[in-house]
Amino acid sequence: MKSPFADVSKAIDWRGRLVFAYLQESPFCFRSDDDVVRGCDVELAKALATMAGSAAFHPVEAEFAQLLPGLLDKRWMMTTGLFVTDERRSRVAFSRPIWTLHDGLLVRAANPKGIAGYGSLARDGSAVLAVIVDQVQCATALRLGVPTGRIRLFKTQNEAAAAVAAGDVDAYASVAAAHRGYLANRPDARLAVVDVPIEEQPPAFGAFAFAKESGGLRDAIDAALASYLGSPEHRALVSRYGFSATEVDRVL
């Protein structure tokens, strides 16, 4: 069956229409009750697109595993923020950093297995971890000793969180901010967030991604970021989504 996320016209001219791929992942990007795409990443991208001279900004929902392939085959021109890794740099280009984030684990309320991080998951011989396909948390979990046989792959945040709530898995690894954004909209979810100790995985930088041949778009966005990051407007935008002044200062 054809993915409902893939039905997008080829993106050609970012000056006329900048097509931006996003995930349903609060607080970064999400479709609100009034059918508007909101969140710190998408609103930052829209402001930068205007500054860069784009006539129209067009957000398109995608699954995580589609983000980079969609850049390569020109379904879109820019993606929501991603952790910057050497493997990803070999495929696409990145803007300057837009945030720095640390990992968290989504667990059932009261944390019945006492999960405290990747290490405790590895030591528990039966704990099963959920991760999203192609997200960096899978590699982190493997590096810290969680065996492949106890890692389950999901396509979306909603699917992985539902698996935790149902008891099909014991934890779901992503960024802590995404877990807290998910729970903010679902106060009755009976789930909780465990911050991964920084000794296991320090906070890492993320950035917007572009095709390597982006027609000058990446340079235009970087130029806009240089003047916008840390401005009163930027601080006000991201503070609405839980980012502190200290967190903004880390990317300046």
CA distance 41 to 53: 18
Q: Which residue has the tokens 């050609």?
A: 12
At residue 138, φ and ψ (nearest 5 deg) are -65, -50
Residue 221's pLDDT band (cuts 50, 70, 90): very high
Give the three-state DSSP class for 81: strand
Question: Residue 66 in contact with residue 78, Cβ under 8 Å?
Answer: no
Q: Which residue has the tokens 């909780």?
A: 192
Residue 1's pLDDT band (cuts 50, 70, 90): very low
Look at the domain 18-100+204-249 and name its fold. D-Maltodextrin-Binding Protein; domain 2 (3.40.190)
Whole-model pTM: value is: 0.91
Tokens encoding 144: 């810290």
Mean pLDDT of 127-142: 97
What type of residue is 79? T
Which residues on neighbouring strands pair with residue 108, listed in sequence order? 191
- CATH number 3.10.20.740 given to 103-195: no
Q: Which run of H or E residues covers position 166?
A: helix 157-166
- How does pLDDT run across 173-211, given as a tens digit for each residue? 999 999 999 999 898 889 999 999 999 999 999 999 999
Residue 215's pLDDT band (cuts 50, 70, 90): confident
Residue 10's pLDDT band (cuts 50, 70, 90): low
76, 117, 82: which is closest to 98 by C-alpha? 82
- How does pLDDT run across 151-172, given as a tens digit for each residue? 999 999 999 999 999 999 999 9
CA distance 173 to 130: 6
Shared fold status for 18-100+204-249 and 103-195: yes
CA distance 33 to 31: 7
